[in-house]
Amino acid sequence: MNETEKNRDQHAILEMNKRARDILISNDLGGYSVPNKDVYPFQWNWDSAFVALGFAEFDIDRAWKEIETLFDAQWADGFVPQIIFWQENDGYFPGPDVWQAGKNPATSGITQPPVAASMVRQIWQKDKSKKNQAIVERLFPKIMAWHRWFDKYRDPLRKGLVVATHPWETGRDNAPEWDQPSAAVDISAIGPYERRDTLHLDKKMRPHKQDYDRYVAMIEYGRAQSWDHKIIANEGPFRTVDVGMTMMLIRANKDMLALAEEFGCQKEAVEIKSWIDRAAEGIDYLWNEKIGAFCSRDLISDRSSGIISSATFLCFYADVGSDDQKSQCIKHLKRISLASKFLMPSISPDNPRFDAMRYWRGPVWAVVNYMISQGCMEVGLKDLSQRIKIDTANLIRQSGFYEAFNPQTGEGTGGEDFSWTAAMWLHWAGK
């Protein structure tokens, strides 16, 4: 690049930074952010954790507020819901009347990937002021309670893994890994419902009707159990060990351990370490020998999905697996990096279920890229880490702050002006 081109590029980046900040500010509904004003008009759990990283780039108090607001909706048993319905909005289905979780504020009855601890540690590392220390000290026991909830309710095998009881808990709603386990869900008795997502977005970007019927059936089941998480986790119609949630929880526990040690919480450190040690051994349950990768595995049928998804590559972020397992995963990552113009497709383009524009069946997601890239960097895969970061930046520069992107053409898919994509630009890809 010559000097003029460099200046032009610098100017374009500053413009993008401003646009990203504006998106976060405009999606701020007062102490919490919506992922996107039309498609998702409430507070979402893992979205908020990532969004806090973006706010931390220009307003650290607002970043903490995002996470504190999320934990304001924590249930007494430590559970942190997937959605918090702070205010009414009929642009989304299923709303609080469908969930009937019986809480104030109204929430859904399922959870989402536990990434909050990792984001809290990132923000804390940015500014270790006394004021921020007090906030971390306030959040620490709340996050601990949430991780204990996972340990108590979602690890029936006692292997340090995470069982999801609804595809929405995984955050990767219609990932092909859930096709087989959710096919067994009985939809014969579901009541009538009206989707709202397809009023805002082209239906080719969204899950199929068959998926929604099953989502609704699983909600109706949970509601019939009055959201008793013990019953749902032991007897529910969908119980699948998610490779993504598992890897994110292991990483979050490692971040919690670092915080516990820094803050002198010895008892908690011992407890967290026991979870991490259990997972280090237990992770083999997800290893698919034939495929040579970590894959989600259905607890009910005891079948491995045999599907390599972007979540597989969070093994580097969690830093688990033997050297041999890691090197087999690296081979898959390199293979996909040759097959895909932009990394990281949510499943490999050569998989027959790949669908380039349809939500979690093909598109690239900035937050997943961030975690994979960070993991790759930490385990010494610098070139792959850099490639994922550059691809993410190019996707956003080419198409804008979309929810996700077509890995072959770079076209945006899902909602526009998306909070977590803006946050990932500010915190990582745009730097």
Q: Which of 44, 67, 57 is nearest to 252 (CA)?
A: 67
Say whether 403 is catalytic.
yes
Q: Could you say which of 169, 173, 197, 417 is catalytic?
A: 173
Taking the C-alpha atoms of residue 431 and residue 84, their distance in angstroms, rounded to an integer, is 32
Residue number with CB closer to ligand DGY (121 or 229): 229
Q: Which residues pair with residue 40 across a beta bridge?
A: 36
**47 contacts ligand DGY (rule: CB under 6 A):** no
Catalytic residue among 66, 169, 242, 403: 403
DSSP string for residues in 388-426: HHHHHHHHHHHH-S-SEE-TTT--EES-SS-HHHHHHII
DSSP secondary structure, 306-351, as one string: ---BGGGGGHHHHT-S-HHHHHHHHHHHHHHHHH-SSS-BSB-TTS
Q: Which of 55, 168, 275, 425 binds ligand DGY (CB under 6 A)?
A: 168
Question: What backbone phi and psi angles, to 5 degrees, belong to 204?
Answer: -70, -10
Report, in Å, the least distance between residue 99 CB and ligand DGY: 11
The answer to whether residue 194 is catalytic is: no
Nearer to ligand DGY, 13 or 187 (CB): 187
Give the integer Cα–Cα distance in Å for 274 and 402: 39
Contact 316, 372 (CB under 8 A): yes
Count the residues of the shown chain that bind ligand DGY, applying the rule CB under 6 A: 4
Within 13 A of 229's CA, how many CA atoms are on the CB side? 22
Nearer to ligand DGY, 168 or 221 (CB): 168
Task: Using the minimum distance from each CB to ligand DGY, give the nearer residue, 94 or 430.
Answer: 94
Closest residue to ligand DGY in the complex (CB): 168
Whichever of 168 and 428 has its CB closer to ligand DGY, that residue is: 168
Using rule CB under 6 A, residue 173 touches ligand DGY: yes
Token digits of residue 237: 């119609």
Contact call for residue 403 and ligand DGY (CB under 6 A): no
Which residues, other chains included, contact 146 with Cβ-Cβ below 8 Å and sequence gap of 6+?
A: 74, 78, 79, 80, 114, 116
| Positions of E strands within 135-281 | 163-164, 240-241
**Between 86 and 168, CB nearer to ligand DGY:** 168
Sheet holding 106-107, edge to edge: 43-44, 83-85, 106-107
Give the x-and-dash track for 65-94 against ligand DGY (CB under 6 A).
-----------------x------------
Q: Which residues are bridge partners to 33 per DSSP?
A: 28
Shortest spacing between CB 188 and ligand DGY, in angstroms: 23
- Binding to ligand DGY by CB under 6 A, coded x per residue (else -) over 114-143, reads ------------------------------
The footprint of ligand DGY on residues 193-222 (CB under 6 A) is 197
To the nearest whole angstrom, how small is the minimum distance from the Cβ of residue 425 to ligand DGY? Answer: 21
Q: How far is the CB of 191 from ligand DGY (least distance, A)?
A: 18
Residues near ligand DGY, by CB under 6 A: 82, 168, 173, 197
Active site amino acids: 173, 403
